Amino acid sequence: MGFYSEVDHAILVEMEGEHFTVVHSGTEKQARTLLPGVPDKQYVENFKKPEKSKKLKDGESYYSLQAHIDMINETGNEIADEWQI
């Protein structure tokens, strides 16, 4: 049994090996976003043991909940205005 939610922003947090990832979108994942420029997934930084954090490629960044909320707040009204009935 499962469910799908009809929302503009839904993330999925999962383990990938020994690292946590946040999935923003994907055809096989229950995640979606309307935010432009957000990668399909981001790794979560290990704050307890930073040396154990996933090594990122150039241009990648760790997931930040505050940054994500700020992006939603900045673009939320623009998106809502486009889809308002």
Rounded Cα distance, 2 and 37, in Å? 29
Helix (H) or strand (E) holding 57: none
Prediction pTM value = 0.75
Model confidence over 9-47: pLDDT tens digits? 888 999 999 999 999 987 777 788 878 888 999 999 999
Rounded Cα distance, 60 and 9, in Å? 21
